[in-house]
Every structure is written in C-alpha cells, then in structure tokens.
Structure 1
Amino acid sequence: MLVLTRKKGQSILIQDDIEITILGIYNDHIKLGISAPPHVQIVRSELMVSIRETNKEASELPHNAGELAEALRMLGIQQTKSES
C-alpha cells in the first residue's frame, strides 16, 4: 500500500486519467473529489460488500418457474390468475 500525505487542494494522479483531489478536511473526515473516465467504476468499499452479499443471496434463489412457484407458495404468496 502506498501511503501519501496531502493537504486540502492537493491531488494524486493514477496513471494518466484518474485524479483524486482533497476537497476538505473536517475533524476525522476528508472530502475527496475523483475525476475518472466514464468506464471506470468507482464504488465505496462498504457498498461493494453489500452488492456481493446480495448477489450471493440471489444466486441461491430457485432457478426455474416450478421451484419459484413452490418457494412463493411456502412463503404464503399466492399467484393471481393474471400472473399465471
């Protein structure tokens, strides 16, 4: 891990097209600005953990209509005639 010290208004460059700028420092928080190309995904790490957990749970759901109907029946969710 590279550790750098920056002051408000200073920035860090990653390759040629990603710039992280320190916008403000408030007690134990900092405010960052990130400039990057549209194809670069920027996500807070705690959100990525939540997304991975949700995806894992979704992958464990029934994969065919029969299994799904049975799971819904067990949960007490009835199918209406327009859905069948």
Structure 2
Amino acid sequence: MLVLKRKVGEVVRIANDIEVHILAVEGDIIKLGFEAPKHIQILRSELYDEIKAENEQSVMSNDSNTKEMLKKLKFSNSDKNKN
C-alpha cells in the first residue's frame, strides 16, 4: 500500500488517465474528487462489496436452478427411454 500526505488542492495521478483531487478536509472527513475515463467504474468499497455479494448469491441461485433443471431433464429422459 502506498501512503501519501497531500494538501487541499493537490492531485494524485494513477496511470495516465486517472486523477484523485484532494478537495477539502473537514475534521476527520476528506473530500476527494476523481477524474477518470467513463469506462472506468469508481465505487465506494461498501457498494463494491454489496454488489459482489449480490452477484455471488445470484450465481449460487442460478447454479441451484440449473442443477434442478438437469435433474428434471434426466428424470424426463429416463422415462422416455423406458418406452
């Protein structure tokens, strides 16, 4: 982890096209501004974690649904093979 001290008005650059601006310091709150290309998504970590958890839950749900559908398909095919 890189740790920097910056003052209000200063900028930190990430790669060629991302800038983090230090906008204000109010008590223990720091206001940051981000400039990045539109295709780069910038999220607070708690939102990122929430989205990740929802996606994982969706995948697990889809896996469960897929397994259930496969069971039904196997059962259906075994009935056809008996005839």
TM-score normalised over the length of structure 1: 0.70
More helix by share: 2
Q: 1:33: how far off?
A: 0.4
For the pair 1:45 / 2:45, whether they are aligned, the reply is: yes
Matched, 1:63 2:73: no
SS at structure 1 position matched to 2:65:
coil
User: Could you report, residue by residue, the CA deviation over 1:38-78 in whole angstroms, capped at 9, with x for unpaired residues?
Assistant: 111111111111111111111222536x87xxxxxxxxxxx
**Paired position in structure 1 for 2:33:** 33
Q: CA RMSD in A?
A: 1.6
Number of aligned residue pairs: 66
What SS is found at the alignment partner of 2:54?
helix
- SS at 1:63's partner residue? helix
Give the fraction of aligned pairs with identical amino acids, expressed as a percent: 44
Q: Which has the larger radius of gyration?
A: 2
Distance 2:56 2:15 in 1: 33
Name structure 2 gaps, 5 residues minimum: 70-83
What corresponds to 1:5 in structure 2? Answer: 5
The answer on 1:21 being equivalent to 2:21 is yes
Query: Unmatched 5+ residue regions in structure 1?
Result: 68-84
